[in-house]
Amino acid sequence: MLNIDTQVKQITGVTAKNIPQFVIESDQPLLLKGFADDWPIVKEGLKSASAACAYIEQFYQGKAVNACYGDVSTKGRVFYNDSLDGFNYRAAKVDLKPVLAKLLQHIDDPSPPTMYVGSTEVSHFLPGFKEQHPISIDCHKPLTSIWIGNQSKIAAHYDFPLNIACNVVGKRRFTLFPPEQVKNLYTGPMEFAPGGQDISMVDFDNPDFAKFPKFETALAHAQVAELDPGDALFLPSMWWHHVEGLSGLNILVTHWWRDTPAYMGRPHNALLLAMLNLRNLPYAQRQAWKSIFEHYIFDHQEQDSAHLPEDAQGMLKTPMDELTARKIRAQLLEKLKR
């Protein structure tokens, strides 16, 4: 295990029924102790792993879920194969009940195969589950998903949405890095990744500091959180997180939402466009565009356009309205056809 001294800030007294504004506005991760202690799935899991599985099954109506299976040699690490042209596991759409049965079959196995059911939207696959586990951020319309597996290790990655991740069964460890540490995490191919999101190539169980020397700098900025059943972690947007399931059965319930309108689109689209249009320019031109982006995007303040009449501000107006966003999208689509 990595030697990380900084613990994620721990907050007590915050529950799923009463989430104060300072939590969802935090720019730092927060460990919310006892957040979901009164949830039925947490109570069932504390009885036994089989009770937790039986509770999940009562909501399941047979729709195939996305699951992955890795042999014992993966040691729980959901990752690439050695040649980086595929993954070290087999993925398939399967019935959830046999997966749960297989997890229970290996629950006391010291070296089990890797079994993992990734992001599964509960309203679609487990209707009624969400209503039994309410959370007081419905105004943000979060996407609520469940993650089920055994001793899994999910490589460090980031997500754009904010997230309240509720650890409901088993124990789980998050190792977190602020967004600017991307330069020290040695990211893998952008075209494909185990979860669809860029990941760190560093093996956290056995980091190769000769191959990845800057990872030591990342570790100096890392934070760690260990979650017991009923605990939750607030994850700000874009924080890198490596996630380990530490028990024979681990279940996580996540709540993703964005704090800007959906009509603004996905920021990753802008990155892809910049890869196409900017990344291969000569260095001096890239630096010039960096100044432009800093002025218009990264360092902009609302008053920067105050010298223009409001009717003439167009896309410079803050905040941008939906009509302007749609006009920009239409312009981009037309330009990309050329």
Taking only the tens place, the pLDDT of each residue in 321-335 is 999 999 999 999 999
* 302 confidence band (pLDDT: 50, 70, 90): confident
What residue has token string 């607030």? 234
* 268 confidence band (pLDDT: 50, 70, 90): very high
CATH of 9-257, one of 3.40.50.1580, 1.20.1260.10, 3.90.190.20, 2.60.120.650: 2.60.120.650
CA 183 – CA 121 distance, rounded (Å)? 32
Q: Is the model's pLDDT at 1 over the cut of 80? A: no
Write down the pLDDT at residue 250.
98
User: Torsion angle of alpha carbons 16, 126, 259, 290, nearest 10°?
Assistant: 130
Write down the pLDDT at residue 100.
98
Write down the pLDDT at residue 337.
87
The mean pLDDT value for 54-69 works out to 97
The pLDDT > 70 percentage for the chain reads 100
What is the C-alpha end-to-end distance of the chain, expressed in Å?
Answer: 52
The mean pLDDT value for 130-145 works out to 95
Sign of the Cα torsion 48, 54, 254, 246 reads positive
CA 194 – CA 185 distance, rounded (Å)? 16
Taking only the tens place, the pLDDT of each residue in 32-54 is 999 999 999 999 999 999 999 99
Write down the pLDDT at residue 118.
94
Average pLDDT, the chain: 96
Whether 164 and 254 have beta carbons less than 8 Å apart is answered as yes
The pLDDT > 90 percentage for the chain reads 93
CA 235 – CA 204 distance, rounded (Å)? 20
* 290 confidence band (pLDDT: 50, 70, 90): very high
**Close Cβ partners of 214 (under 8 Å, ≥ 6 residues apart):** 183, 184, 186
* 15 confidence band (pLDDT: 50, 70, 90): very high
Taking only the tens place, the pLDDT of each residue in 140-156 is 999 999 999 999 999 99
Write down the pLDDT at residue 238.
98
* 222 confidence band (pLDDT: 50, 70, 90): very high
**Close Cβ partners of 11 (under 8 Å, ≥ 6 residues apart):** 23, 30, 31, 32, 33
Collapsing DSSP to helix, strand or coil, 190 comes out as: coil
Spell out the domain ranges in the chain: 9-257, 263-336
Write down the pLDDT at residue 138.
86
Write down the pLDDT at residue 195.
87
Q: Is the model's pLDDT at 314 over the cut of 80? A: yes
Which of 216, 184, 180, 178 lies closest to 200, judged by CA? 184
* 280 confidence band (pLDDT: 50, 70, 90): very high
